[in-house]
């Protein structure tokens, strides 16, 4: 079967319109030195059963993440997914549903998104949540753009250096194309963001912090909020691990104006890095500046409850030139998965799982400290923490990998000044036997 839809005649018509004789002429602007010479050595096609055998042979040489204990974290987390969530989300009504433009045809999808918004707002302590965004990184970038829209004449934003490095890269990609100034705030000796220089930043629209931050440290959000508001800036709180708010006070309770982050922990497998879920909330007074779309509850002409898209000022929709975002879709199946996950656990379940994360991480951290490791920072943590070791930890890490356990990641990849310090993560899926194996290897 051919997957190219264009006939020879259609290709000829297009070339005539562009003024070229051959398809190869379309690439004439590429220097010869940059072109691949010769034929690409592509294997011959295989039958279905031969292809299955080929993949089985490849599989024997690959160790998949599911076959290992991964104690890394850093923005992607392994959590138990209840079977009820997997079962619900595999139903065709959810899995194949498209963007709910026509409310009369999409009440189920719209209600699901509405429930997701409600649960998200409650978890994060905010008044309004949107229908989700692509991922945590793009949500943070959109939050900073939102602060610049609200503070119309200001052109600067401040971003903590303790925010996930990949998130900061996305922020730079979004903002540096415009005439905006991005200021990075240093990390203090306690692992928390140093806000002492906020007064020195001109035209400051918003300040973004992450809690727990990339080092696993819990930021003092309430104190930070007071400092940020004192310089007439918006307080943006982001996260990579939403489970922390099953145990700690929510950003909304601490005075945040905008809250955003990654929702992968809520029912989505790690899947080698995606897909993710951008969770996004704000105060109600800012709701008309919120990016993406919002589902609202209303009544029809018969007085029956119904759901509609109420705010969706996107570039492909109404008010195109005044759009709040170029985000043209919500993460439909991912947001419904998060809603099903939060609903299946409930408030009590979220607290219990969060407590398991905290307790297991504390068990490993305390045991490794007894073995001679030293915490890089002494501030409170949730399920991630950073340790320094008296001796090089890399040989120990390699021995653990040989046993199927990936323990820690060298922060030198992201912060040169922390070379040799390792970030660890423990969730409820990590057994005590695995933790004891790590402790034993370090002790030996």
The domains found in the chain, sorted by start residue, are 65-79+347-443 (3.90.1150.10), 83-342 (3.40.640.10)
Paired tokens of 250: 């929510």
pLDDT at res. 59: 83
For the record, the structure tokens of 80 come out as 């138990």
Confidence at 272, pLDDT banded by 50, 70, 90: confident
The DSSP H or E segment spanning 425 is strand 422-425
Q: What are 81-97's pLDDT values in tens digits?
A: 999 999 999 988 888 87
Cα torsion 237, 380, 65, 92 to 10°: value is -40
Contacts of 26 (CB under 8 A, 6+ apart): 18, 20
Interval 41-85: pLDDT, tens: 888 889 999 999 999 998 888 766 555 788 999 999 999 999 999
193: helix, strand or coil? strand
Q: Is the pLDDT reported for residue 1 higher than 50? A: no
Burial of 298 (0-12, 13-18, 19+ CB in 10 A): exposed
In this structure, the chain runs to a length of: 444
177 pLDDT higher than 90: no
pTM for the whole structure: 0.85
Phi, psi of 233 (to 5 degrees): -120, 160
Q: What value does the mean pLDDT take over residues 167-187?
A: 94
Of residues 256 and 24, more confidence is placed in: 256
Q: Is the four-CA dihedral 45, 51, 54, 58 of positive or negative sign?
A: positive
User: Percent of the chain beyond pLDDT 90?
Assistant: 74
Predicted confidence at residue 38, as pLDDT, reads 85
3-state SS record for 328-343: CCCCHHHHHHHHHHHH
Give the DSSP per-residue string, 35-102: SPPS---PPPP--HHHHHHHHHHHHTT---GGGSEEE--SS-------HHHHHHHTSHHHHT------
Q: Which of 157-166, 284-293, 305-314, 360-369 has the lowest mean pLDDT?
A: 305-314
Segment 162-173 mean pLDDT: 97
Neighbours of 15 (CB within 10 A): 15
- pLDDT of 396 > 50? The answer is yes
209 or 21: which leads in pLDDT: 209
Mean predicted lDDT score pLDDT of the chain: 92
Residues 6+ away with beta carbon under 8 Å from 87: none
**Helix (H) or strand (E) run with residue 386 in it:** strand 384-388
- Alpha-carbon distance of 240 to 211, in angstroms, equals 8
Residue 319 reports pLDDT greater than 70: no
Mean pLDDT of 391-395: 94
372-382 burial: b if 16+ Cβ within 10 Å, else e: ebebbbebbbb
* Residue indicated by tokens 């006070």: 249
- Which tokens is 372 given? 């001679």
pLDDT at 320: 63
């Amino acid at each position: 079967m051919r997957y190219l839809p264009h006939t020879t005649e259609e290709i000829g018509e297009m070339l005539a319109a562009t003024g070229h004789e051959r398809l190869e002429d379309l690439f004439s602007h590429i220097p010869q030195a940059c072109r691949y010479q010769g034929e690409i050595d592509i294997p011959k096609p295989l039958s279905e059963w031969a292809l299955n055998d080929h993949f089985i042979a490849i599989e024997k040489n690959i160790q998949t993440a599911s076959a290992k204990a991964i104690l890394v974290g850093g923005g992607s987390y392994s959590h138990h997914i209840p079977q009820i969530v997997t079962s619900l989300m595999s139903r065709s009504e959810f899995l194949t549903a498209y963007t709910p433009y026509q409310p009369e045809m999409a009440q189920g999808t719209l209600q699901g998104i509405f429930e997701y918004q409600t649960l998200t707002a409650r978890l994060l302590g905010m008044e309004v949540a949107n229908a989700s965004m692509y991922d945590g990184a793009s949500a943070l970038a959109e939050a900073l753009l939102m602060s610049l829209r609200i503070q119309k004449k200001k052109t600067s934003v401040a971003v903590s250096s303790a925010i996930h490095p990949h998130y900061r890269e996305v922020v730079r990609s979004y903002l540096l194309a415009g005439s905006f100034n991005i200021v990075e705030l240093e990390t203090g000796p306690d692992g928390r963001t140093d806000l002492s220089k906020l007064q020195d930043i001109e035209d400051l629209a918003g300040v973004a912090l992450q809690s727990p931050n990339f080092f696993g440290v819990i930021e003092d959000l309430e104190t930070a909020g007071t400092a940020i508001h004192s310089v007439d800036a918006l307080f943006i709180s982001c996260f990579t691990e939403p489970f922390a708010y099953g145990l700690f006070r929510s950003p909304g309770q601490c005075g945040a104006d905008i809250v955003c982050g990654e929702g992968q922990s809520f029912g989505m497998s790690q899947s080698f890095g995606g897909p993710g879920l951008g969770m996004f909330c704000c105060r109600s007074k800012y709701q008309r500046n919120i990016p993406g779309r919002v589902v609202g509850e209303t009544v029809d002409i018969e007085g029956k409850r119904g759901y509609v898209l109420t705010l969706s000022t996107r570039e492909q929709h109404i008010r195109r030139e005044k759009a709040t975002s170029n985000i043209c879709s919500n993460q439909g199946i991912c947001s419904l998965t998060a809603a099903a996950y939060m609903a299946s656990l409930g408030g009590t379940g979220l607290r219990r799982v969060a407590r398991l994360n905290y307790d297991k991480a504390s068990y490993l951290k305390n045991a490794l400290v007894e073995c001679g490791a030293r915490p890089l920072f002494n501030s409170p943590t949730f399920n991630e923490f950073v340790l320094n070791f008296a001796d090089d930890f890399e040989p120990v890490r390699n021995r653990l990998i040989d046993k199927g356990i990936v323990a820690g990641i060298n922060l030198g990849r992201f912060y040169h000044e922390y070379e040799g310090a390792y970030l660890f993560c423990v969730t409820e899926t990590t057994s005590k036997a695995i933790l004891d194996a790590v402790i034993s290897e370090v002790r030996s």
